[in-house]
Amino acid sequence: MNLTELNRVATAMVAPGKGILAADESSGTIKKRFDAIGVESTEASRRDYREMLFRSKEAMSQYISGVILYDETIWQDAKDGTPLVKLIEQAGAIPGIKVDEGTQALPMCPGETVTIGLDKLAERLKKYYERGARFAKWRAVIDIGSGIPSMTAISVNAHALARYAALCQAAQIVPIVEPEVLMDGDHDVDRCYDVTQRVLNKTFQELRVQRVALEGMVLKPNMAISGKTCAKQASVEEVAEKTIRLLKACVPAAVSGIAFLSGGQSDEEATAHLNAMHKLGPLPWGLTFSYGRALQAAPQKAWSGKAENVTAGQRAFSHRARMNGLAAKGEWQSSLEQKAA
């Protein structure tokens, strides 16, 4: 393992003013997104859509540091035969790959899951590296509800995250460690804070036990945020203040960077929260976005599966990428959104 090189890649992933595009929707999830815009999900339509994103010059060269791909996408070529991975590299961004294989019900823990995909992971990582992937992603899912999460679910998911991270580093791939505490439910921001604290503490304990080098990884957490149906929604300032307090308490400064998931927040909320956190600096780690929905909802709508809408889709993507790039430096203002509209 070359830690200097892992650290170089991890640092580039959270470079000031840049963040990660999570385009790693599995076939089921992308179908849901396409259903919402009335587009049939086929290998070709998925390719066309992602090619549109990766050919968005402004977004890809100025605001996107890396792209998380799904297995199908990493092996796909653009219409003109150029591998999609090459389009990402040519734009100056780093290709990455989602390597988890989804979740499975956790025995003895009703309503809870564990993320799977460790079998044969070492061999798969080798192939992904040869294809150009320099980082990977694994997402653990923790749900908040009555009596959950259990310590069992937190432990097994943290253990799997650390096993994955160690395998990645041995294969010279930077692991994105994503323990996602879901926003679903009516819990308040403080319950989210408490659960996320337990999850992060357990995750870093496992990472230490399994000798993962913190300088060669990126953490992808949720923010400390109110549940979607909570009657009292925390303000932007409260989310920012509590999230930074939580991360400072749980994430060692040796970690190269933190890149948030958006988790179902609206586009603008996700941008405003990141921006407000940067107002609370200086921060011990690079802090940016690794959004899926909050970067892609607008371009998906603008594109709607029509070739004549490709420019509109790219414009919508570049706008969201620029807004989040500014937020990653604390330089975003809501008036910039209105101007664009």
**Footprint of ligand 5MM (CB under 6 A):** 22, 24-26, 29, 68, 139, 180, 261-263, 291-294
Q: How far is the CB of 60 from ligand 5MM (least distance, A)?
A: 17
Q: Please, which residue, 50 or 278, has the CB nearer to ligand 5MM?
A: 50
72 in catalytic set: no
Residue nearest to ligand 5MM (CB): 292
Q: How far is the CB of 41 from ligand 5MM (least distance, A)?
A: 12
Q: How far is the CB of 68 from ligand 5MM (least distance, A)?
A: 6
Q: Please, which residue, 28 or 81, has the CB nearer to ligand 5MM?
A: 28
Cα 177 to Cα 169: distance, rounded to the nearest angstrom: 12
Q: Which of 178, 202, 206, 242 is catalytic?
A: 178
Q: How far is the CB of 263 from ligand 5MM (least distance, A)?
A: 4
Q: How far is the CB of 308 from ligand 5MM (least distance, A)?
A: 26
Q: Please, which residue, 26 or 309, has the CB nearer to ligand 5MM?
A: 26
Q: Please, which residue, 112 or 180, has the CB nearer to ligand 5MM?
A: 180
Q: Please, which residue, 104 or 311, has the CB nearer to ligand 5MM?
A: 104
220 in catalytic set: yes
Cα 313 to Cα 243: distance, rounded to the nearest angstrom: 32
Active site residues: 178, 220
